[in-house]
Amino acid sequence: MTCIGYIGLGLIGGSLARSIRKYHPEYRQIAYSHTKATTDAAIEAGVIDEALSQDDERFGECDFIFLCAPVRTNIAYLPFLRKVIRKNCILTDVGSVKGETMNAAAAEGLSANFIGGHPMAGTEKTGFANSTDYLLENAYYFITPSKDAADEDIRRYEELISSIRALPLVVPPEKHDFIVAGVSHLPHIVASVLVNTVKEIDTEDERMKLVAAGGFRDITRIASSSPAMWQQICMANKEAILEVLDTFTDLLKKSSDLVRESDADRLLTMFESSKNYRDSIDDVKKGSVPRQYVLYIDIIDETGAIATITTMLAMNQISIKNIGILHTREYEEGALRIEFYDEGARDQAESILHRRNYTVRKKI
């Protein structure tokens, strides 16, 4: 019988455990959490079979072990795990930076066992209580094997991730860290700097803060994420972040020069280039950044799930402007994104879906 172990059962660890339980009810699942109430809740929910102690020999029975605690905590477990894990056990994590943990695993002689992992999923909420068995569905899931990882183990990992309906992407760890530096870490830094800029230049009566809405709120929403977490990410992925920041600051300086020189032609080229690239990304809003009327709906990935919602809205004469599945659900608020033509249609749809017991969040 396949055995899956977890160290940490927060939002991601809990969602992994729930998803694997959903699609592989026959698997044995065991876990340790520093909070006993968490493992008690997981056992009561039928998600795990056994709660383990901190240094529990039963981790040696696992075919997969997911390290779902903070990075430094995960690293602190490696010396113990090296002593107890099976030769063919796949040891993995769920962190957004791979280098530090993979280097630590190599230092412990665990390179052949360790295959990094990073699901591009999450919400602003934390803890096992907010985990679901569908958070990872249709979400990209990075798999970052070491050079010593066996092809058969990489294939086993891909099969497990695919079986819970996530989308595995196998890339080298250094490439992963550069990718997320560009599409995840840089946007958080930029959002933080943008908010602090407005804070710095705001009028005495805070009129900028008062009227901040629409595009400003859209592009700075992620600045509300955990400051401590992003401090740690910047320290852990320093080199890749500096590389993308250098490119960003260079382009920002060039845009400043264009404005200063009133270079209308090159400004137009700059905006056209960014628009075309942005519009080529899945699930984008065409045009610039006018107000959007959007709902995020948590749905289970099953046949007819989207059709049920669209039929329900059509029967109430509600027109949909755009609809799409979110494949990168990191700090997003649902699996399905629906955009409406006006506020009234959005609010009516929200009311209808709430009455049908869907979890719906409104984009503000």
All domains in the chain, ordered by first residue:
3-171 (3.40.50.720), 176-262 (1.10.3660.10), 293-362 (3.30.70.260)
pLDDT tens column, 241-260: 999 999 999 999 999 999 99
Residue 337, helix vs strand vs coil: strand
Provide the pLDDT confidence category of residue 288 given band limits of 50, 70 and 90. Answer: very low
pTM above 0.85, yes or no: no
- What contacts 338, CB < 8 A, 6 or more positions away? 294, 295, 297, 309, 313, 320, 322, 323, 349
pLDDT tens column, 40-75: 999 999 999 999 999 999 999 999 999 999 888 899
Identify the pLDDT of residue 287. 33
Weakest mean pLDDT among 45-49, 231-235, 249-253, 288-292 = 288-292
Phi, then psi, of 268 in degrees rounded to 5: -60, -45
| Contact in structure between 239 and 180 (CB atoms under 8 Å) | no
* Tokens encoding 217: 């709120």
Interatomic CA distance for residues 108 and 275, integer angstroms? 47
Provide the pLDDT confidence category of residue 331 given band limits of 50, 70 and 90. Answer: very low
| Contact in structure between 188 and 225 (CB atoms under 8 Å) | yes
